[in-house]
Structure 1
Amino acid sequence: MDSHHWRAVITAAQSGDRQALDELVAGWLPLVYNIVGRALNGHADVDDVVQETMLRAVDNLGSLRDPDSFRSWLVAIAMRQIRDRARRRTPERLEEAAASDFAELTVLRLQLEGQRREVAEAVRWLDDEDRQLLSLWWLEVAGELTRRELAAAVGITRQHAAVRVQRMKERLETSRGIVRALDGACPDLRELTGRWDGRPDSVWRKRLARHIRGCGYCGDPRETVVPAERLLVGIALVPLPVGFTLSLAFGGKTAVAAGSAGWSAKLLGALTKPAVAMTAGATIVAGGAYVVTQPPHAPPPRAAVTPTATATSEPPPSATPTPSPTPTPSPSAKRKADLYGTVVDAVDRAPDPDARPAALPRRPESGVTSTGGPKAVMQHRGDSVTLSGRGYVLVRWQISPHARPGGVVMPTWTGLKGKLFHVASGGSRRMDDPLPGAPNGYVTGMGGPDIGYAVLPPGTQQMWQNEYFYVDGTVTLTQNERGCDYGIAVFPSDWAAVDKDVNTGPAQGAIRYGLVRDTGTDSAPVPQYVTRATPADPATVPQRSRV
């Protein structure tokens, strides 16, 4: 919308027009969420800071003299709340884990790849002050803020802002180099990071930067490094997550009291419903609960897709589904034994890009703990993580044939106690999907003629960018890299995140919707490479799973 429209909306809201106030809050909430989320990198306090910013803006809207300065005024309020939150932090709060890694949210929701992904992930390595400044500069180069507004929000002159931004960009480039190096296969770097707990901080940033400066392998980017500002031009705001809510307490006011104080029902809804809900039906009910409903003209959900062999290639003998190893003295006993252990050991066909996934069954969740923490990054052969509990897990793939092409030795699940299901595939693309505009018919994950290809074992299902599993017990996942270079990151997740991912499709600019594999019962598929045994070499686990 143009500035004339917003000026009219702000003026009307200041005059008591509730509809204009509703529009103002709903329209600017995503901008505040992006600033706060990136400045705090998804910390658990993000919701509180966003809420306090919006409430202060509404409470003080009458004091705004020039409607044209609303955006810079709102951003300045957000930055003050961010700094106030930093001053209030106790040592205990400093140790809190992030509610959600905003760098990863940026990559997933905006479908960033290559060097754009690298910039987003480099944010983790910045100190708080740099990250706060970057949260504004990112929006400046994306066309959402001006340099004048950036300077006003920080409370400095434009000349001083230029100096601060330049210094922040230098540290951002250093951090990008660290992300590239950690994605590589340098044996010296692997030895250096043997004692690292995986949490980015200033001490390890300096250590890794010092290694990179003296390392011929890590210091060679192997491709032209595009300046960050060129990568971020025109990039969209990260949409609010489905389920993102702001408390209806309003600084101690109940919803009823807030309504009697002049808050309209639509405004209460605007403060509690995510902006992305506009793509689906939504209803705000008493108490502020958010309910997503099917749009009136939405197509009916597809039945769950069962992976099938491709019509053009016959699976090898080893790809034949394996019956349960448990003896079955009668047909009824066999049917019961087969309820768990269904393995689809065959190449599965990708669904049509416009085909919506089936509904994702909701399984019980009590939480999954990981020996790798909230994000375990496994870049080298032998890296492993043990998962325990009951809930969902995301395994995110990054294949690097440009570093080393060849056959992929798949990761394996070992020592299974309990049950493990392969419930969904997401990330809006399979790893063999064509990359739009790429030369020579490159595919996004599997390589191309100029750099070589990543090749899967015969009969192996093609992985998607994001693969989701459900754990009910304990299991260990091991990275078995030997041929083609690859890395996987493992995140404990939840049903809402999986459901959101698989339903992000072409309408959001991605390649395809996700794939729901879960039947909601023990007949759901299990991973191809899983065993209850604990072999000395996990890479020897056969493709036909043993559960």
Structure 2
Amino acid sequence: MDSQDWRPTIAAAQAGDRRALDELVAGWLPLVYNIVGRALNGHADVDDVVQETMLRAVHNLGSLRDPDSFRSWLVAIAMRQIRDRARRTSPDRLEEGATQAADFAELTVLRLQLEGQRREVAEAVRWLDDEDRHLLSLWWLEVAGELTRRELAAAVGITRQHAAVRVQRMKERLETARGIVRALDGACPDLRELTVRWNGRPDSVWRKRLARHIRGCCYCGDTRESVVPAERLLVGIALVPLPVGFTLSLAFGGKTAAAAAATASAGWSAKALSALTKPAVAMTAGATIVAGGAYVVSQPPAAPPSQAAVTPTAAVTPGPPSPAAPPAPTPSPSSSPSATKKRDLYGTVVDAVDRAPDPDARPAALPRRPEAGITSTGGPKAVMQHRGDSVTLTGQGYVLVRWQISPASRPGALVMPAWTGLKGRLFHVASGGWRRMDDPLTGAPNGYVTGMGGPDIGYAVLPDGTQQMWQNEYFYVDGSVTLTQNERGADYGLTVFPSSWEAVDKDVNTGPPQGALRYGLVRDTGTDAAPVPQYVTRATPADPATVPQRSRV
């Protein structure tokens, strides 16, 4: 994207052409979003920094004397806003936002469908310090052909020679981070022992600790394939598309057009400023402006989603504890799915946190629902072991989702799978497999092979408020829905089978065999009060991992 190609549009926008201004903002917003998103790694402040950057660019566009320098001018504004935000933000606020926001490295992998060493580079970004990540956000775009080295240096405020030195040092640290990502994807037993107490979130302490291990480990340091330099991997990679529903309002803080014009730079017309006070319209991921509105895109904050997305409706008791904590109290009848009265059931969540029944308690009778058969895009047995794997289920009948968690491979925070694009109805009907995933000694005599983990190897940790899964989770589909694997912090796999009422009933009512711990659990009431699974939406987000990973709102 060259500023020279945009010279007529820039000139028209400076003269007050609203259509040109719309086109200019829409055309350059993806570049700003990628710079800020990668520099802050998807921190919760990304939307604010992007908005402030575009607002300042629009406000000061009349003062730009050379349209050919528009790109470097815009990038410099973005980097200045990133630096200003870092100075204003306390360390506690940084940490809080980092845990709440979507991981930009993860969005890069999913939205650009990166694999192999390209995925490795994207994931290595999260191990860099802020200063290196800010520089990488520009260098990534340089090697992808979106920026020049002159523009990179100008944005950072240094000479081209100094920029070359800074980039080289950043690349060396990036290669160290790539080695960490590669090692964590491996099966080194010493590394597994080292990361027992790691919470799955990259930080400088663990970066140094893991890098030190890799340097002295024959297993982790033995690269089985040639490592391609990062710049060769990033050449030609497209910009990460804007999130669907990302909305950026460029209104001047509620000022009237006349008041805004009074504070604008000379040459910026009241007609162009008046466009900024119009209602915002949503843009698609392709960044298309809808004619007649103002601008652009801002992902909604962590507020309850709209009715089309996940909307919890039931009272929630505290989420299930880690295996080392005492069990959560039994939910009161008023918060149980069967006791909840609600409107617009389908596409909403009933999320009372369950507690497993007594091992000797017989399950309730399982209501029988109509079965016309289920078609699965994954065939009779879909195995989903990697981020982004998905299966679409269509028809009327029962489906089994079987969990396999392997904290021995990689403990950490578990990101739940998401049900998206729901058309029709979806119930959670029963839990089986004779065990919950937080039961000790799940799966094998040596313990913790397919469960949530233990002190010897670490834990897989659920988001707060999540219902604890059983080995077999059964659902009823009447319509169509897509299930996506969103594994990120901990290793887990899902196997999805079309099933039947008879198979579900046999699972939940068969007494525990030797070594199993519990009978099944029936949640289906046979009515429209049956619970809908957590993390379900009728929407079809470009990235299913953005479905809110919570049940408490």
Deviations along 1:261-320, whole A, 9 cap, x unmatched?
Answer: 5446766679753352557x96887999999xxxxxxxxxxxxxxxxxxxxxxxxxxxxx
Could you tell me which residue of structure 1 aligns to residue 93 of structure 2?
93
Q: Provide TM-score, normalisation by structure 1.
A: 0.60
Deviations along 1:2-45, whole A, 9 cap, x unmatched?
Answer: 65430111112122222211111111011000000000011111
Amino acid aligned to 1:171 = R
**Are 1:392 and 1:492, in contact at CA under 8 Å, matched by a contact in 2?**
no
Partner SS for 1:520: strand
Give the alignment partner of residue 388 of structure 2, picking from 463, 466, 472. 466
How far apart, in 2, do the equivalents of 1:75 and 1:369 lie?
45
Deviations along 1:348-381, whole A, 9 cap, x unmatched?
Answer: xxxxxxxxxxxx97443379998899xxxxxxxx
- 1:109 aligned onto 2:111: yes
Could you tell me which residue of structure 2 aligns to residue 186 of structure 1?
188
How far apart, in 2, do the equivalents of 1:289 and 1:152 lie?
27
Identity of aligned residues (%): 64
- The correspondence of residues 368-387 of structure 1 with structure 2, limited to 5 A, is none
Amino acid aligned to 1:80 = R
Could you tell me which residue of structure 2 aligns to residue 58 of structure 1?
58
**Are 2:279 and 2:293, in contact at CA under 8 Å, matched by a contact in 1?**
no
How far apart, in 1, do the equivalents of 2:171 and 2:91 lie?
29
**Are 1:122 and 1:179, in contact at CA under 8 Å, matched by a contact in 2?**
yes
Could you tell me which residue of structure 2 aligns to residue 537 of structure 1?
441
Task: Let me know the Cα RMSD of the aligned residues.
Answer: 4.6
- 1:520 aligned onto 2:421: no
Amino acid aligned to 1:466 = G
Partner SS for 1:95: helix
How far apart, in 2, do the equivalents of 1:43 and 1:12 lie?
35
- 1:274 aligned onto 2:283: yes
User: Which has the larger displacement, 249-258 or 225-234?
Assistant: 249-258
**Are 1:26 and 1:275, in contact at CA under 8 Å, matched by a contact in 2?**
no
Give the alignment partner of residue 210 of structure 1, picking from 205, 209, 212. 212
**Are 2:33 and 2:50, in contact at CA under 8 Å, matched by a contact in 1?**
yes
Could you tell me which residue of structure 1 aligns to residue 34 of structure 2?
34
Amino acid aligned to 2:47 = D
How far apart, in 1, do the equivalents of 2:425 and 2:308 lie?
5
What is the CA-CA distance between 1:492 and the residue it aligns to?
5.4
Partner SS for 2:220: coil
How far apart, in 1, do the equivalents of 2:439 and 2:16 lie?
70
Deviations along 1:137-158, whole A, 9 cap, x unmatched?
Answer: 0000000000010001001111
Distance change >3 Å, CA 115–CA 251, structure 1 → 2: same
How far apart, in 2, do the equivalents of 1:265 and 1:27 lie?
20
What is the CA-CA distance between 1:415 and the residue it aligns to?
6.5
How far apart, in 2, do the equivalents of 1:95 and 1:74 lie?
28
Could you tell me which residue of structure 1 aligns to residue 161 of structure 2?
159
Amino acid aligned to 1:17 = D
How far apart, in 2, do the equivalents of 1:372 and 1:49 lie?
36
Give the alignment partner of residue 236 of structure 1, picking from 223, 238, 247. 238
Give the alignment partner of residue 490 of structure 1, picking from 372, 392, 414. 414
How far apart, in 1, do the equivalents of 2:438 and 2:117 lie?
38
Distance change >3 Å, CA 196–CA 22, structure 1 → 2: same
How far apart, in 2, do the equivalents of 1:72 and 1:287 lie?
22
How far apart, in 2, do the equivalents of 1:256 and 1:287 lie?
19
Amino acid aligned to 1:79 = M
**Are 1:183 and 1:487, in contact at CA under 8 Å, matched by a contact in 2?**
no
**Are 1:41 and 1:101, in contact at CA under 8 Å, matched by a contact in 2?**
yes
Partner SS for 2:58: helix
How far apart, in 2, do the equivalents of 1:39 and 1:266 lie?
30
**Are 1:43 and 1:101, in contact at CA under 8 Å, matched by a contact in 2?**
yes
How far apart, in 1, do the equivalents of 2:259 and 2:295 lie?
13
How far apart, in 1, do the equivalents of 2:287 and 2:388 lie?
25
Amino acid aligned to 1:77 = I
- 1:70 aligned onto 2:44: no
Query: How many residue pairs align between the two structures?
Result: 386
Deviations along 1:166-208, whole A, 9 cap, x unmatched?
Answer: 0000000000000111111111111211222222111111111
Partner SS for 2:212: helix
Q: Provide TM-score, normalisation by structure 2.
A: 0.59
How far apart, in 1, do the equivalents of 2:294 and 2:17 lie?
23
User: Structure 1: 5+ residue runs without aligned partners?
Assistant: 292-359, 374-381, 394-413, 419-428, 433-458, 470-475, 500-515
Give the alignment partner of residue 198 of structure 2, picking from 192, 196, 199. 196
Deviations along 1:82-106, whole A, 9 cap, x unmatched?
Answer: 0000000124312313321101111
Could you tell me which residue of structure 2 aligns to residue 364 of structure 1?
311
What is the CA-CA distance between 1:531 and the residue it aligns to?
4.8
Give the alignment partner of residue 405 of structure 2, picking from 476, 479, 495. 479
What is the CA-CA distance between 1:66 and the residue it aligns to?
1.0
How far apart, in 2, do the equivalents of 1:131 and 1:371 lie?
35
**Are 2:105 and 2:125, in contact at CA under 8 Å, matched by a contact in 1?**
yes
**Are 1:415 and 1:532, in contact at CA under 8 Å, matched by a contact in 2?**
no
How far apart, in 2, do the equivalents of 1:154 and 1:41 lie?
18
How far apart, in 2, do the equivalents of 1:287 and 1:166 lie?
38
Distance change >3 Å, CA 165–CA 525, structure 1 → 2: farther
